[in-house]
Structure 1
Amino acid sequence: QLFLEAPSSSRRATAFFALVTLCIFVQVALILVHSGSFSIECRDEQPDAAFNESSSCERNVYYVYCFLSVVFSVELFLRTISKRSLRELCSFLWWVDLIAIMPFYLNLLLLAVGLPENWEAQALASCFRMLRLFKLFRLNSDTATLTRALSLSWRPLSIPLMLLFLGSILLGSIIYAVEQAELGRELADTTFPDVGTGVWFMIVTFSTVGYGDVSPKSHSGRAVTVFAIVCGVLFMAMPLSIIGNNFTLAWEERKKLDAVVALQRHCIDRGLQAREITALFEEADVSGDGTITYLEFRAFMDHIGMALKPSEARNLFAAFDDAKTGVITFYEFCHLVFPDLDVERLSANLVMLPTPLQKSECRSPVPTMGPLPGNVATGAPAAERPRSPSVLARKEHAKEHVKELSVLARKE
């Protein structure tokens, strides 16, 4: 599953990701060319012509289409066998893959049975193949930010959408009535023959599109339209601001998620389990006082390969510092890195080691997981606990890095 979902995990995953992306764009280009786009005609004059009598262009397109279908079939098979549960298997994008690949096998079935080709059915099948463009949302990690922003916006957007629904019906009925009253039924029927046309005109006006296919001819109708235009300008400001603000929040959440994933990957590289998170916290806690300061946090982020700007580092540090005390405690660290780990319940069975609280009374000591595997608890204070040579070397390096950051901070 990592091979399919994380293209940067290996060279093979990157190559497979590039191949699938290229195949998607090639298939979209083939559909456009095969439909006659770009003034290129690449299909037979007789729809029911036999394949061996088809033009060379038609045969080449069919061969390329078969190759692309094989690639997509292999990808669908790999994604199917990699799913760990039925809920993961029946995801939206899995159904998109299945529906997009079905026209190829249905076409093979029709050829095997000997039924003639139907261009209307092929046009419908091309629409299904276009669904494969949704795969680009899965292949691009940044699209998750847009999805998150839309999910945060759907409930606030219900208010302007309700205003659009009510306003279009109300003003559409009014403009129909005033046009009929001022111009007469015969002349008004040429512009607004029914209320539905008035509602359509108001929706187009509210959205500031203005197709121009329908327009009022009476003075009263134009006055109503001016009012609708002003309402449309005010109406469009609401959804744009809602989505824009939520996109900013989603982008900040993405930065937080990237940091959590980097920390979890660092645990995997070191062979640490979720219950051995104290070792990870001790790596970041250079001073050994049971809390992580901002400079220690910056040094640790650089160590795990996350190059953050000062503003991004401050925002990320504030996300970890849930109590807003200026330092990150062990529990705040655990809640964000391993949200599914019930640290408070595990703490009931842990040996709480006394640690010097030098900076704030709200800082909690780091629990050492005595009865759990891989624990190094000895009952000594955190600063005196035995550490492996690699951890000691990491501590010395981090201390030097913290000193460098302190010097840079004073210069700024």
Structure 2
Amino acid sequence: MNDWKRNLTFCWFGMFVTMIGISQIAPVLPLYIKDLGVNDTALIERFSGIAFGATFIVSAIFSPIWGKLADKVGRKPMLLRASIGMAIVIFFIGFVTNVYELIALRFLQGIISGYGTACTTLVATQTDKEHAGFALGTLSTASIAGSLLGPLIGGYLEDTLGMRSVFTVTSFLLILSFITTLIFVKEEFKCPDKEIPNMKEIWGKLPNPELMITMFLTAFILQLAFYSIEPIITVYVSELSKNMVHVALISGLAFSASGMANILAAPKLGKLSDKIGPQKVMFVALIIAGIVFIPQAFVKNPWQLMGLRFVLGLAAAGLLPSINIMVKKIVPQDITGRIFGISISAQYLGTFFGSTLGGQIAATFGIKYVFFITSGLLLINAIIIYKGVYNKDILKLSQA
């Protein structure tokens, strides 16, 4: 097996296991906070929001820092640091005695995280440019697949073994990720002779800084757009279901439809990016995603919503992987970790603000307006991509 294929295989497994572990936690946070003695519903909602959002905000701050360290000491050490560090922190979350200890450890989890950044950087830097699209597209499916399975496993564990078992099992999965990474992931890394450049020097080394700013903005808008919808899917399905039974199951299927489509399409769109250019795939995917959001506001039943979200997932498979491919093909390898760190910070910020924004828009104007605003953001983003990069030669951009 080629080195890049072996690394892709085991990084995929590590990312998959890590995302299963992490995504198990979010659905049980409100229940855990109540179990810790908070009985007022408003307080539970407030503490849940803080505990959930804290990890993303802190991760956004620390992701570029870990990216810089990855460029200095290697990406594999960052994978090992993140997996074992999160395993320890999440294990202790299962033994907190009050909500303030929980929030403090969630902050610490955000500080010590970074597995996804290091994993993406390692695969990008160890894969030749001819196969970068396929490799990064395939890697993106690990995060999505893990995120889909995690809540299901977390709910099952909470029902059968109790609340705190979720954190113990999550810790075990992260240790498993640590062990497989340690044994199987190989990295050819040469320590830089010079000191890692500061941010001003990095911008000077970039062949096209304006393009990277466009990619960061796109990463932020994508996450903001998609996560503005996620928190209200269950509410929307409840309205559409009327007298249907098993609303929770139907909501789960609606939530998962886009993820399943993403898993199917991402490797294929990655290969297409290698042939025609990631900027072209990104532009078309943004147009399709922006258009598909509009009819979701007018569906009459959950099954129509599921169908449209499946189409949305097919389009979404050409978005974040395309950003990663652009970074891989344009950015000099010795600063790739820093740039991926900034890109993932933009995604974390988009996730946090999207989750907050969607609920506020739905509460103020109605759920349908969330779809309209999200569609508008994606179509505006498509215009930005078309004007900024669509007709440009990526090879020339990397040599600018």
TM-score, with length taken from structure 1: 0.23
Flag the structure with higher helix content.
Answer: 2
- The TM-score with structure 2 as length reference comes to 0.24
Q: Which has the larger radius of gyration?
A: 1
